[in-house]
Each structure stands twice: as structure tokens, then as C-alpha cells.
């Protein structure tokens, strides 16, 4: 078993060879063996909905759920155990700051693989990073920002969320350019990465320092927890 930081040797629980009736049990047991801070990667040949619903029902607030690959043949999902009593409500700042840090670590791991000239591995890690960042942005724009705007009356295009939306477009353009460059030799990827890290750094700082605390203040505890539940389910 390894922590999130141990990207090169995560504990992989591959249940693709097991029958449908056995795979869910195997994943539930694997989660029970995790200590707080430990992570596992569940590898399945279908979306692991049973595991997700089991964790929601029995370990609410005690896990992070991060898709790394979403089909069509293989699903890989990183599940991290949190130090929390069952039923702990989540808030926006802590949950999304954790996801920012997770994504930063994955981007760094992708470029670490490039430095070791493992270009195929760099491409895989970058794809995991891009999947996670696109999911994060989608959640913010489709669910989180609209909830904040509804509570505060802030306009979606000119207020603080409008600035974040515009920055998301810049981030997505860099993600697209990097998708190809990440697994190719040459300096193009490093130049694009510098731009991405700079924009993402400012962006995340503004969200963590200003916007997320404002959202935590303006949205009720149950609604915030439900929003994070929908983020995890996405």
C-alpha cells in the first residue's frame, strides 16, 4: 500500500478477472485494509458504481474518489482513505484544495517520467492529470459556481466566477496542446508546462484564497456536502 505521493508504486487492486459477484466484495475488503492517508487504485472492466455507492453508504466523508481512466475497456479509480469519522460533512475549500494538490502531483510525476525519458509513461500520467483537471473544471462550472451565484446573486460572466471561467478556457487550450506534446521528445512540452503551471498556480491561489472561502460562507453545510458528493460521483 502506498500514499498518494507514491505515484510510481500505488497499491493496485485489479478485479477484472473476477466474476461480477466477487469483484465488489474484493474492492470493499481492499478499502477496509487502507489506513488513513493510504490509497488504492481499483481496476475494473466497467464503471465501479457498486464500490462508490458502498463507500457513500458506509464510509461517508472517509474517502476521496479520483478517476484516472474512464473506459471504454478499463476503468481505473484512485480511492484514498481520509482520516475522518463516518458521516463527516465535506466543505468546498478542503475538498477542492485536496484535488488541486492531487493534480499538481500528477503533472509533476508526468514530467518526472519525461526527465527519465519514459515518454510513454509520461503520456499516461499526463492523460490521468488531464482527465482529472477537466472533471474538476466541469464540476466548478456546471454545479459549484451556479450554486454560489444562486446564493449571492453574483453574475456568472462578470463576477469572480466569470474570471475563473475565462481562465478555465486558457487552461483547457494548454491542456489540449500538451496532450500531444507530453509523450513526444523535444522541448515543446516543457515550454507549455511552464505556461500551464503559471496560469494554474494563480488560478488555484485565487480559488483557495478568495472564492472557495466565500462559497463555504454563503452555501449551507448540507448543500456543500451534497455538491462534493456530486463531484465525487462525476
Residues in contact with Fe ion by the rule CB under 5 A? 140, 207
CB of 4 to Fe ion, least distance (A): 17
Closer to Fe ion at the Cβ: 31 or 231?
Answer: 231
Question: Which residue, 163 or 177, has its beta carbon nearer to Fe ion?
Answer: 163
Dihedral pair phi/psi, residue 143, rounded to 5°: -125, -50
Closest distance of CB 193 from Fe ion, Å: 18
Q: What span, in angstroms and rounded, lies between the C-alpha atoms of 205 and 138?
A: 18
Give least dist CB 61 to Fe ion, A: 20
Query: Which helix H or strand E contains 65, and what residues bound it?
Result: strand 63-70
Cβ proximity to Fe ion, 44 vs 204, nearer residue: 204
Closest CA to 36 of 6, 4, 8: 4
C-alpha span between 31 and 8 (Å, rounded): 20
**Minimum gap (Å) between residue 164 Cβ and Fe ion:** 5
The H-assigned helical ranges of the chain are 20-33, 49-58, 92-115, 119-139, 145-152, 160-181, 188-206, 212-218, 221-233
Beta strand 75-81 pairing with 38-44: antiparallel
Q: Between 78 and 140, name the residue whose CB sits nearer to Fe ion.
A: 140
The answer to whether the CB of 68 falls within 8 A of the CB of 131 is yes
> CB of 134: closest distance to Fe ion in angstroms?
11
Q: Which is nearer to Fe ion, 128 or 207 (CB)?
A: 207
Closest CA to 141 of 105, 169, 173: 169
Query: Given the complex with Fe ion, which of 7 and 211 has the nearer CB atom?
Result: 211
Say which DSSP state 67 is in: E
Cα of first residue to Cα of last residue in the chain, in angstroms, is 25
Name the residue nearer to Fe ion (CB basis): 64 or 207.
207
Amino acid at each position: 500500500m502506498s500514499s498518494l505521493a507514491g505515484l510510481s508504486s500505488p497499491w493496485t487492486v485489479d478485479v477484472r478477472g473476477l466474476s461480477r459477484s466477487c469483484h465488489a466484495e474484493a474492492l470493499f475488503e481492499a478499502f477496509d485494509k487502507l489506513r488513513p492517508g493510504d490509497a488504492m487504485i481499483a481496476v475494473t472492466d466497467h464503471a465501479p458504481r457498486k464500490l462508490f455507492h458502498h463507500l457513500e453508504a458506509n464510509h461517508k466523508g472517509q474517502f476521496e474518489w479520483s478517476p484516472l481512466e474512464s473506459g471504454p475497456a478499463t476503468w481505473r479509480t484512485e480511492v484514498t482513505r481520509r482520516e475522518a469519522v463516518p458521516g463527516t460533512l465535506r466543505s468546498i475549500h478542503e475538498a477542492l484544495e485536496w484535488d488541486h494538490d492531487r493534480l499538481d502531483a500528477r503533472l509533476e510525476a508526468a514530467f518526472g517520467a519525461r526527465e527519465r525519458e519514459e515518454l510513454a509513461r509520461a503520456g499516461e500520467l499526463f492523460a490521468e492529470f488531464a482527465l482529472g483537471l477537466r472533471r474538476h473544471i466541469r464540476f466548478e462550472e456546471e454545479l459549484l459556481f451556479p450554486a454560489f451565484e444562486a446564493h449571492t446573486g453574483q453574475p456568472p460572466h462578470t463576477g469572480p466566477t466569470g474570471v475563473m471561467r475565462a481562465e478555465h478556457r486558457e487552461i483547457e487550450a494548454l491542456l489540449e496542446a500538451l496532450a500531444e506534446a507530453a509523450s513526444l521528445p523535444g522541448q515543446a512540452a516543457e515550454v507549455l508546462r511552464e505556461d500551464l503551471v503559471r496560469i494554474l498556480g494563480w488560478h488555484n491561489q485565487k480559488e483557495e484564497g478568495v472564492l472557495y472561502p466565500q462559497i463555504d460562507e454563503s452555501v449551507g453545510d448540507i448543500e456543500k456536502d451534497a455538491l462534493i458528493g456530486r463531484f465525487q460521483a462525476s
